[in-house]
Amino acid sequence: MSRFGVGSLRRQIAALAIVPIGGLLILAAASDWLLRDDLESVSYARATALKIETVVDQIRASTSVEQEAAILDATSRTELQVERVAAADLSGGEPSGGVTDVRHLIRENLPARFISAVQPSTAAGKLRDVLVVQVDDDQALAFLPAPPPPDAWISDREVSVVLQLMVLVLPVGLLSLYAARVISAPLLDFAKAAETLKPDDGPDRPFKEYGAAEIRILARSLNDMRSRLRSMVEDRTRMLRAISHDLRTPLTRLRLRADRSTQPELKAALLEDISALSDMINDTLTYLSTEMAAEKPVNADLPSLLTTVCSDFSDVGFDVRYVGPERFAYHCRPRSIARAITNLVENGTKFAREIRVELSVSTKGGVRIRVADDGPGIPGGLRSRVLEPFFKVDQARTLSDRGGFGLGLSIVDDIVRTHGGRIELSDKVPHGLVVQIELPAGDIVAVPSIFPAKTTVAQIPDSVATPL
């Protein structure tokens, strides 16, 4: 029953329609079995009774003994044996009630004017277990009918009843399946619309208002909810833009003022704080903005992307290097991936001296990007939490004096997840943090390379990790 409760709506409706019909069918079959009147034994009894009636009438009407003998002889050659007995044999006899013997059935089918009795034996006759029928005052006939044909397990009539019911059940069943589909289809459409729904993009009323009245009401309220959601997102975006402007203007003032400071130490400290503040604003805006999600996936050259991120850091004095194949096209959102790797490398530059960004391509076309640093690492227990927004590992990473909001890794996590990949943090021996991003094989549009000599993509088995 509980399984029925959690089954799909379509199945539930179909079951509700079909089960009663099935029940009806079983009921009909059962009642038919209970009213076994029209079984073959019964019709046999009727036919035999008719035959007995005819024989008795003929005997009564016959004028000579030869004629009677001929009639009896002819009758006995059929499946109904007959012999002459005395009328006295009618007396006594077996009681008729409750016996399912075919002789009783025949007797019940004889016309009322016939006096008859069922006898185990007669005084003069040779036949046993006979049905004795009176002819006149002193003579009677003893009939021994052949045993009736056995009743079939299923009668012809039952077969026809089942066929009739099938004719009834089949269209009703199909109709109910169709009806269930019609009812559940809008709901499935809703689910699909809700899944692909973007709060700030797409049609105004994505839930189609069709189907049953209740479903139309549901669609309407979902559409209304979506409108409210959209206006909320728009409000948020407007607010974010306002805040970002309002914060950056004084920050620009500070930046310019700090630059004119004549005390080098104060200037350096001020500039560091200003850039930390500016990073925080950028991180928050990136995390909350929908710009990343709006980026269209393209075929992008991952090595050039990773090299570019590394160059941006090495150009400002950090030891950040790329290790991996020279060229590899991968279907992704390149700016988002670049943002994710930038965040990871930037995080590393706060705690480590040396950072390696490694790319390896699995034989199945999936990619693995590892960002490994030689910093203090993150304690095992905190690793899963660092992906949460606003979480900071302050105790472990005390080197930081420009911590940020703790959104950097959350942004990375978001980006990796929108690419259908996963992120894993682990320790590096002897110390350091390794952030490993696994991305599934993208649906790269296969194009022949123009660099036949250069497509030396390092192929590694899925399970083997690249050594540092």
Chain contacts with other proteins (rule: CB under 8 A): 241, 244-245, 248-249, 251-257, 259-260, 274, 278, 282, 285, 289, 291, 298-301, 304-305, 307-308, 311-312, 314-317, 326, 329, 334-335, 338, 445, 447-451, 453-454
Which CB, 448 or 461, lies closer to other proteins? 448
Which CB, 34 or 450, lies closer to other proteins? 450
Which CB, 391 or 405, lies closer to other proteins? 405
CB of 330 to other proteins, least distance (A): 9
Query: In 10 A of CB 341, how many CB atoms?
Result: 25
Decide: 171 and 183 in contact? Cβ < 8 Å: no
CB of 420 to other proteins, least distance (A): 19
Decide: 445 and 331 in contact? Cβ < 8 Å: yes
CB of 414 to other proteins, least distance (A): 17
Query: Using N-to-C axis directions, what is the helix angle for 408-418 and 264-288, rounded to 10°?
Result: 30
Which CB, 34 or 446, lies closer to other proteins? 446
Which CB, 365 or 376, lies closer to other proteins? 365
For residue 167, CA distances in Å to 13, 123, 147, 179, 265 come to 21, 58, 37, 19, 95
CB of 390 to other proteins, least distance (A): 21
Which CB, 209 or 295, lies closer to other proteins? 295
Q: Specify whether the backbone of 432 is left (phi greater than 0), alpha (psi in -120 to 50) or beta.
A: left
CB of 220 to other proteins, least distance (A): 33
Distance between CA atoms of 368 and 360, rounded to whole angstroms? 5
Distance between CA atoms of 430 and 217, rounded to whole angstroms? 62
Which CB, 278 or 400, lies closer to other proteins? 278
Q: What are phi and psi of 307, to 5 degrees?
A: -60, -40
Query: Using N-to-C axis directions, what is the helix angle for 334-351 and 302-314, rounded to 10°?
Result: 40
CB of 337 to other proteins, least distance (A): 9
CB of 229 to other proteins, least distance (A): 22
**Counting beta carbons within 10 angstroms of the beta carbon of residue 208, is it exposed (0 to 12), middle (13 to 18) or buried (19 or more)?**
middle
Q: What are phi and psi of 265, to 5 degrees?
A: -65, -45
